[in-house]
Amino acid sequence: MTADDPFRRWRVSVVVMVATTALTVVCLFVIAVVQVVLAVLSHVI
């Protein structure tokens, strides 16, 4: 990070915002996949 960046805080905030959103999406996706797999297995077995 450049020391003379006047928008340092803003940029870090945007990265944190996007990272949080991405993490939430991934978590939701994983939960959905696990639920589907469990549902399939419960039908099959």
Partner 1 sequence: MLITAVTVVICLLLALPAIHGVRYATVILGASGRAFARAMGLGKEPHTAEIPKPSKGVANREYAHERYLRRQSWRDFRHANVRVWSEVGKTVKSCWEKLRVLHPAQVNPPRPEYTTFRRTAGAGVLIGTAVAAVVIAGLALAEAVALGVLFVAEYGFLWVLAGVDALVLRVRGVTMTCRNCGHRLTRAEYTCPGCKVRHHNLRPGRYGLLHRTCGCGYRLASTALSKNYRLESWCPHCDKPLAKETGLAGEIVIPLFGAPGAGKSQLITVLTVAIETLADRTGGTFAFADDQTRGNATKAWRGLVTTKRSEKTTLVSGATTVPAYSMYVKPRRGQMKLLHVFDAQGEVFYRSDKIQQLEYLRVAKTFVFVVDPLSIDRLWTSIAESHRPAMEKIRAQQEPSKTFHETVMTVIAMGIDLRKVHLVVALSKADLIEDSLRTVDRTDDGSIRAWLVDKLAQGNLVRAMDNNFKSVSFFLTSALATGHDTADSSVESFAERTLATQGFKL
Question: Residue 22 is encoded by which pair of tokens?
Answer: 């991405």
28 contacts partner 1 (rule: CB under 8 A): no
For partner 1, give the closer residue by CB, 6 or 42.
6
Q: Do the beta carbons of residue 8 and residue 1 sit within 8 Å?
A: yes
Q: Binding residue for partner 1 (CB under 8 A) from 25, 28, 32, 34?
A: 25
**DSSP code at position 45:** -
In whole angstroms, the minimum distance from the beta carbon of 1 to partner 1 comes to: 5
Give me the residues that bind partner 1 (CB under 8 A), please: 1-2, 4-8, 10-12, 14-15, 17-19, 21-22, 25-26, 40, 44-45
